[in-house]
Amino acid sequence: MARSTTASRTTRRLRTGLAAAAVAVLSALPATQASAATPKFMIKNGAFPDYKLCASPTDDFVWLKPVSLNDPYCAWKQLGSGNEGQFTLYSPAKDEIMYYTGGNEGLVMMGDNGDSPAGPNGELWAWGGQESWGSSALQSYWDSGQNVDAKSPGAQDAPRVDQVRTRGWRHGFQRELTWSAVPLN
């Protein structure tokens, strides 16, 4: 009887070890392989429909660029949809994710998992409800009161020309805080 107990412990340990090794291998796969089948889309602004959200090829910031510009850094993939609809925004061209740095008017940046000073939830986003003009707020999951903002801080009705930041829904106009995911071919 002792022999069968030892054998089953050994079998359990082996299975547990193999399962842990499989998880380690799968989590080490590059995001590009894990998300190959996920469709790409652009994120177009609700107030400035001629502008889209783009990762920068030269720094860690997120910028607005004209929709007419054919730029691979403006293509995104939405990875995951866990509790409360949170997801990660992944830029295949940059091979990084978009994250929130925290605070009102906090920067929206690009980086690797674990780069957000707001922690893991700072790397997650959620879509708000669709507004009457057809777009939805793109909210930080860490602080749902902070939305990705396309409005220039220095001009009443102009898109940003600086790095993209967040802004609270109640602080001024809201249309600039809304976005639409438009499928790309």
- Domain containing 103 — which CATH number? 2.80.10.50
- pLDDT at position 82, please? 64
Overall domain count for the chain: 2
Are residues 24 and 89 both part of a single domain?
A: no
Quick one: what percent of the chain has pLDDT higher than 70? 78
Question: Which segments of the chain have a pLDDT < 70?
Answer: 1-36, 82-83, 171-172
Are residues 39 and 109 both part of a single domain?
A: yes
Are residues 62 and 145 both part of a single domain?
A: yes
Are residues 66 and 121 both part of a single domain?
A: yes
Are residues 114 and 157 both part of a single domain?
A: yes
- pLDDT at position 91, please? 98
CB crowding 9-24: b at 16 or more within 10 Å, else e = eeeeeeeeeeeeeeee
Are residues 76 and 137 both part of a single domain?
A: yes
Q: Give me the domain span that covers residue 43.
A: 35-183
- pLDDT at position 171, please? 64
- pLDDT at position 52, please? 98
Strands (E) in 13-79, as ranges, are 41-45, 51-55, 62-66, 77-79
- pLDDT at position 112, please? 96
Q: Is the pTM of this model over 0.95?
A: no
